[in-house]
Amino acid sequence: MSTLVLLLITGVGLGALYFLVASGLSLIYGLMHVLNFAHGAFLSLGGLLGWEVGRRVGDGTWGGLLVSMLVGMLVGALFAIVTELVFIRRLYNRHIEQVLVTVGIGLAAVALFEGIWGSDPIITTKVPWLRQTTEVVGARVPNHIWLLIGVAVVVLLAIVLFLRFTRFGLVIRAGVENRTMVTALGIDVRTAFTIVFAIGGAAAGLGGVLASVYYGNVSAHQGTSLLIYAFIVTVIGGLGSLTGAAIASVLIAVLQQLANFYLGGTGDLIIVLALAAVLLVRPSGLLGRAA
């Protein structure tokens, strides 16, 4: 019983990490219709620079971790803004070019990060409390799982509240539905669209820092590997559905944990099969709108 509880809770924690990565991806596609293959680079750079600054503030301390998270968000947002302004803004409604450009940015970024930090994972130091465990129904759950879950819930609520109850959120949603009308009213839709990229990049950068907490290391390739799971989550949840991404993140991560433990490490195979099943039965995803 305790083993199952441990697998379920750690699965939810892993799902929280997947959501942090997939939320920005889903948000950018859902509102901008841009498949951003450079999203993993936002995560890697946020994680690496967050670690660099955080360890200088206080390696293995709450202050250092908080600074790392803030730096990761800021770096991810700035990288996303530059990407949108320089590359994506000229390519709206040109999806093939978007894919080629963002894939190129992602590959070039990884090569750059390897040149600076090397290709091997860098071991990170956790806050002492995060290295401990909390007992739940006999299961010893690592405390960093609670941090991941808490941050993911805050991010989900913050994005939803921003889109529903702020002026920029209203402009963004209106601009997506009818960009010509909103522009005719004298509203600069381009600024709102850049903000969408900034939010997505900030979520990815935060995910990069928390990935280093979860895995105990940070590397130039971390964003690339997590991007694969983020795309699976985004497709299963429904392209553009933030709530769908949250639900799919938990389902996929729990399924992965159970399969790895009970089915001999076949978690990745199982989630790929789940992806295929969803695409066959419901191509729009769990909460996606049918075309």
48, burial (CB in 10 Å: exposed 0-12, middle 13-18, buried 19+):
buried
Q: How confident is the model at residue 176 (pLDDT cuts 50, 70, 90)?
A: low
Residue 291 has pLDDT above 60, yes or no: no
Residue 178's pLDDT is: 61
Q: How confident is the model at residue 107 (pLDDT cuts 50, 70, 90)?
A: very high
CA 37 to centroid of chain Cα atoms: 12
CA 44 to centroid of chain Cα atoms: 11
111, burial (CB in 10 Å: exposed 0-12, middle 13-18, buried 19+):
exposed
- 50 within 8 A of 71, measured Cβ to Cβ: yes
Domain extent for 73: 2-281
Is residue 36, in this structure, part of any structural domain at all? yes
Is residue 101, in this structure, part of any structural domain at all? yes
Question: How many CB atoms within 10 Å of residue 93?
Answer: 8
Is residue 291, in this structure, part of any structural domain at all? no
CATH number of the domain bearing residue 235: 1.10.3470
Number of folded domains in the chain? Answer: 1
Residue 53's pLDDT is: 94
Tokens of 150: 């808490």
CA–CA distance, 48 with 222 (Å, rounded to integer) = 10
Residue 252 has pLDDT above 90, yes or no: yes
Q: How confident is the model at residue 208 (pLDDT cuts 50, 70, 90)?
A: very high
**What's the chain's average pLDDT?**
87
Tokens of 205: 């950068």
Q: How confident is the model at residue 188 (pLDDT cuts 50, 70, 90)?
A: low
- 219 within 8 A of 122, measured Cβ to Cβ: yes
Is residue 287, in this structure, part of any structural domain at all? no
Residue 184's pLDDT is: 64
Q: How confident is the model at residue 77 (pLDDT cuts 50, 70, 90)?
A: very high
CA–CA distance, 211 with 50 (Å, rounded to integer) = 11
Least confident of 34-38, 155-159, 163-167: 163-167
Is residue 290, in this structure, part of any structural domain at all? no
Is residue 173, in this structure, part of any structural domain at all? yes
What's the whole-number mean pLDDT along residues 134-160? 91
Least confident of 37-46, 53-62, 88-97: 88-97
**pLDDT (tens digit per residue) in 265-290:** 888 899 999 999 998 888 888 876 65
Residue 172 has pLDDT above 90, yes or no: no
Sign, CA torsion 176/179/185/189: positive
- 198 within 8 A of 42, measured Cβ to Cβ: no
